[in-house]
Amino acid sequence: MEDFSILIGGKAGDGIRQIGGLVAGLLGRLGYHVFFWDDYPSLIRGGHNFSLIRACRCMIQANTDSVDLIVALNAETVDRHKSRLKPGGTIVFDADAFEAEGLGLNLGSMVKQAGGKPVMRNTAAFAVIGKMLGLKWEVVEKIVRDSFKKATEINLAIARAAYDQAGGTTLDIEAGPAEPLPLMTGNEAIALGAAAAGLDLYVAYPMTPATSILHFLAAHEEELGLVTYHPENEIAAAVTAIGAAYAGARTMVGSAGGGFALMAEAVSLAAQSETPVVFVVSQRPGPSTGVPTYTTQGDLGFVLSAGHGEFLRFVVAPGDVNEAFELTGLAMNMAWKYQIPAFVLTDKCLSESTYCFDAGGAAVTREEGLLWDGGGGYKRYLDTEGGVSPLAFPGTAGAVVKGTSYEHDEYGITTEVAEAVTAMQEKRMKKRAGLARDVETDLEAVKTYGPPGSDTAILTWGSTKGACVEVAEALGVGVVQPVILEPFPAEALRSALAGAKKVIGVEVNVTGCLADLAACHGVEVAERILKYDGRPFTIDDLKKKVEGVIG
């Protein structure tokens, strides 16, 4: 098959994501491009969880509404999703738990007979999917052995029983000619991009959907040569990062909207003290607690304005794992080049979904900031032509290194003298010219897809890019995606949209945050297609909406 989807559903505690990940990995190894979205409520037990895995011979970054196979561990999965099943598709369900139309298998009995725990029904589900994909038992057996290090023999017995009961192949797939690509979540790509740019310390208080950055980096500290730290709250995370950066460590902090709200004062501290720190903000629906395990793109305005006073910042918004890797590295390097706070603005869809990662096109290296050469008396806030002062760190011979939240002179000594205050405000703002020049001339701030000169263009950002690009290819329209949002690449955006007579904004938020921002820079967005139920656009849904706009 060229393009197919599998849905696996149950309740929290059934191990749905684990099996979804195994299926995604298997399809990736067979040469398919994979997109894996995990849908789960904010519950430890109960509720409705499902994993949706789409596989295709060409690059994909979004899901479709329809599926070819549903594997249901509870009745709610069938009730909710049977309408999505394609004609000729199959529903496999646990006949020990409920009755439904489709192929009923005694998954619970298999687990009990093997002496396993109820959660091991997910092993049976994986074996069933392997059989229906046409895999030989030896392939399924190896994956189970590699994946279940505890109770391996019990899991193998369960898998074998399920494999034998599953019947024949229903999805006609075979290994593709393409070299398998590694699978990666957006958060893993963010973590690796930061590490490639020299990350020394990652500090975070756990908050979905940014939490897995902390987990991933903590698990790979030794390999990546860095340290992770989990403090008592988000305020402590932000100020710890600033302190570490003052001492010379490249630092990054991660959170979601509510946690980042607590960091706003620290953002201003980083700006006033000219301390380079990268903040990752992974968006989820608000206000307040909102819908904590789902996705949105509603924090753009917040990130662009967080912190009091006027100061520079650098903001990137990746749309897939390759961009997450590269743009996080870029944010780290730009933070240190200009000694400013930088932001990676992601969302739950990108952060936690699994994509194919094309490492061949990704390149991140550590770029050093301007360092003090040791000559003359050290002035931490030396007023240079471009506004960037040479860096030294505590312990550097001959340097007294100050960092302060107060306005100060070139040495870092507090001042309220009018002329000195004016000079330092202007000194920090001098950096804007260099930063804007980098964005306008040296960096790819705006990406375009589809036929050049199209009369219609979709304007989008973040993870919504994936669905937009696929829909645009089907409809013959263009897509324009800004990946740097501050400084805003107005000239590049206007150039990318120059041939379009109609611009359609597509975003996962209530108001059209990017469309509003573009309008401030003279870019007219004629129509807005917005989704704000916490779920990303599917290909089918977005295609209908775009067709309705373009006629």
pLDDT in tens, 187-203: 999 999 999 999 999 99
Mean pLDDT of the chain: 95
- Peptide linkage before 209 cis (omega within 30 of 0): yes
Question: Which of 304, 331, 361 is the endpoint of a domain?
Answer: 361
Question: Is 179 a member of any domain?
Answer: no
In a shared domain, residues 115 and 11: yes
pLDDT in tens, 223-266: 999 999 999 999 999 999 999 999 999 999 999 999 999 999 99
Q: How many residues does the chain have?
A: 551
In a shared domain, residues 296 and 262: yes
Question: Which of 313, 329, 361 is the endpoint of a domain?
Answer: 361
Distance, CA of 55 to CA of 65 (rounded, Å): 13
Q: What percent of the chain has pLDDT over 70?
A: 98
Give the CATH number for residue 132: 3.40.920.10
For residue 179, what pLDDT band results from cuts at 50, 70 and 90?
A: confident
Give the CATH number for residue 472: 3.40.50.920
Retrieve residue 252's tokens.
Answer: 């990054």
Is residue 177 predicted with pLDDT exceeding 70? no
In a shared domain, residues 78 and 223: no
> Burial code of 138-154, b = ≥16 C-beta within 10 A, e = fewer?
eebbebbeebbeebeeb
Q: For the residues of 386-449, what is the DSSP string, one character each?
A: SSPPPB--TT-TT------SS-B-TTS-B---HHHHHHHHHHHHTHHHHHHHIIIIIS--EEEE
In a shared domain, residues 460 and 438: no
Distance, CA of 467 to CA of 354 (rounded, Å): 15
Question: Is 509 a member of any domain?
Answer: yes
In a shared domain, residues 209 and 303: yes
Minimal CA–CA distance to 460: which of 498, 504, 522? 504
Question: Is 178 a member of any domain?
Answer: no
Q: Pseudo-torsion of CA 113, 116, 122, 128, nearest 10°?
A: -30
Catalogue the E-assigned strands of 273-429. Answer: 277-283, 314-316, 341-347, 354-356
Distance, CA of 298 to CA of 509 (rounded, Å): 5
What pLDDT was estimated at residue 436?
A: 97
Q: Pseudo-torsion of CA 290, 295, 300, 302, nearest 10°?
A: 20
Question: Is 176 a member of any domain?
Answer: no
Distance, CA of 148 to CA of 151 (rounded, Å): 7
In a shared domain, residues 414 and 544: no
Cβ atoms of residues 9 and 70 within 8 Å: yes
In a shared domain, residues 314 and 191: yes
In a shared domain, residues 430 and 450: no
Is residue 178 predicted with pLDDT exceeding 80? no
Average pLDDT rounded to a whole number, residues 161-176: 78
Phi, psi of 79 (to 5 degrees): -60, -40
Question: Is 171 a member of any domain?
Answer: no
Phi, psi of 160 (to 5 degrees): -65, -45
pLDDT in tens, 17-76: 999 999 999 999 888 999 999 999 998 888 899 999 999 989 999 999 999 999 999 999
Distance, CA of 249 to CA of 521 (rounded, Å): 37
In a shared domain, residues 14 and 151: yes
Retrieve residue 28's tokens.
Answer: 């990736």
Strand 227-229 and strand 201-204: the pairing is parallel
What pLDDT was estimated at residue 134?
A: 87
Distance, CA of 103 to CA of 112 (rounded, Å): 20
- Peptide linkage before 451 cis (omega within 30 of 0): no
In a shared domain, residues 136 and 43: yes
Question: Is 271 a member of any domain?
Answer: yes
By the 10 Å C-beta count (0-12 exposed, 13-18 middle, 19+ buried), 432 is classed as middle
Q: Point out which residues pair with 356 in neighbouring strands.
A: 183
Is residue 207 predicted with pLDDT exceeding 70? yes
Average pLDDT rounded to a whole number, residues 137-148: 92
The more confident residue out of 175 and 523 is 523
Domain that holds residue 10: 3-165
In a shared domain, residues 510 and 469: yes
Average pLDDT rounded to a whole number, residues 278-293: 97
pLDDT in tens, 410-459: 999 999 999 999 999 999 999 999 999 999 999 999 999 998 878 999 99
**Cα–Cα separations (whole angstroms), residue 407 to 370, 391, 509:** 22, 18, 38
The more confident residue out of 340 and 376 is 340
Cβ atoms of residues 342 and 279 within 8 Å: yes
Question: Which of 361, 389, 411 is the endpoint of a domain?
Answer: 361
What pLDDT was estimated at residue 452?
A: 83
In a shared domain, residues 222 and 355: yes
**Cα–Cα separations (whole angstroms), residue 511 to 219, 300, 447, 506:** 39, 11, 23, 11
Cβ atoms of residues 296 and 167 within 8 Å: no
**Cα–Cα separations (whole angstroms), residue 295 to 37, 301, 482, 532:** 11, 16, 19, 9
Task: Compute how many other C-beta atoms are within 10 angstroms of the C-beta atom of residue 115.
Answer: 12
As for how many domains the chain has, the answer is 4
pTM score above 0.85: yes
